[in-house]
Amino acid sequence: MTVKEIFELVRDDLARVEEEIAAQSNSALEPVSEIGNYLLSGGGKRLRPALLLLSARFCGVRGEGAIRLGAVVELIHSATLVHDDVIDDANLRRGRASANSRWGNHMSVLAGDWLYMQSFQMALRERNFRVLDILIDLTQNMVEGELMQLTQLGRLEQTEAEALDLAYRKTACLLSGCAQLGAVLADRDPLTEQALAEYGKYSGLAFQVVDDLLDFTASPKILGKPVLNDLKDGKITLPLIYALEGSGPEERRMVNTILDEKGFVSVRRDQITSLVRTTGAIERTRRLAQDFAAKAKACLLDLSDSDYRRALLALPDFILEREN
């Protein structure tokens, strides 16, 4: 199943999600409405609401609840992006000016706060404590992920386990929640709910690992920001963790220099991309993403077949193809 075919299955519902998002954003005070509309018109494939809608359809439910929660997860995602850009002092997001570079940090933080609060107000309409439990848990994990990342900035000695814990909190927990919410809306049995939650988690881990890989392999045009931006910002991600495992003191000094200078002053970007390639770190990272994608698909093997299950099975492959 192609990406187009996957999204075609929920095309009409995604259009209604877009309408709901626009309505919520337009209901805000003018500065927040302006920032919200700017953020939400910035592109992206709406992977998170699509995953929630596919999960709900697979579990046999559709309607206003799924539409509303699709908008909720996209608003939460947008809130995290605007806060991330403020924390990172980023100038670009998806190839255009970030919200904080246009409206400043104070306004952007408040707009992100509004998006969080509005998303929970919308979720309350479901009158379902399980929905709220999942949303509160994943939001807490995402905030904790940001705090963890801040404490690790500029620290060279990081492990694969630490990087994957961060990947879960920053990315995978939200995708896990999206898939799980579809089962909760349908009031499915605990085993089905857990299988979909695990599916979302492994899909999210694959997504973040590919993201880490793209920072070393993609062009600035594809990324929508400069390559090796994570390292410039003091973030040590999996490809570099793997590269340094097999490197000597000279390579570590080179990376430390970038961290100390907070940019590529004495060390060139191509020296780092060469390091991760020659040590086999790129291939090792790619294999890890493929492993997570395979684990995601394995979570669905015992569930009943349908077009929606086949779409969910194809989604991890789409995540892997982002590198191309």
- What is the phi/psi pair of residue 97, to 5°? -60, 135
For residue 245, what are the CA distances in angstroms to 156, 162, 211, 242, 284? 11, 15, 20, 5, 12
Q: Phi-psi category of 224—alpha, beta or left, where left has phi over 0 and alpha has psi -120 to 50?
A: left
pLDDT for position 223: 59
Residues 186-211 have a mean pLDDT of: 97
Give the pLDDT confidence of 280-316 residue by residue, as tens digits: 999 999 999 999 999 999 999 999 999 999 999 999 9
pLDDT for position 272: 94
Residues 180-189 have a mean pLDDT of: 96
What's this model's pTM, rounded to 2 decimal places?
0.93
Give the pLDDT confidence of 77-134 residue by residue, as tens digits: 999 988 888 888 888 777 788 889 888 899 899 989 999 999 999 999 999 999 999 9
Q: At what angle do helices 269-278 and 238-245 cross, to 10 degrees?
A: 70
Q: How far is 159 from 165, CA to CA, in rounded Å?
A: 10
Q: How far is 93 from 72, CA to CA, in rounded Å?
A: 21
Q: How far is 256 from 277, CA to CA, in rounded Å?
A: 19
pLDDT for position 26: 83
pLDDT for position 220: 64
- pLDDT class for 221, splitting at 50, 70, 90? low
Residues 247-253 have a mean pLDDT of: 93
Residue that wins the pLDDT comparison between 45 and 209: 209
- Delineate the domains of the chain, giving CATH numbers in brackets: 3-321 (1.10.600.10)
269-282: b (≥16 Cβ within 10 Å) or e: beebbebbeebebb
| pLDDT of 138 strictly over 90 | yes
Give the pLDDT confidence of 59-73 residue by residue, as tens digits: 999 889 999 999 999
- What is the phi/psi pair of residue 264, to 5°? -100, 85
pLDDT for position 39: 78
Percent of the chain with pLDDT over 90: 72
What's the residue count for the chain?
Answer: 324
| pLDDT of 74 strictly over 80 | yes
Q: How far is 203 from 219, CA to CA, in rounded Å?
A: 24
pLDDT for position 285: 97
Q: Tell me the pLDDT of the chain averaged across its residues.
A: 92
- pLDDT class for 226, splitting at 50, 70, 90? low
Q: How far is 229 from 238, CA to CA, in rounded Å?
A: 14
pLDDT for position 45: 75
- pLDDT class for 218, splitting at 50, 70, 90? confident
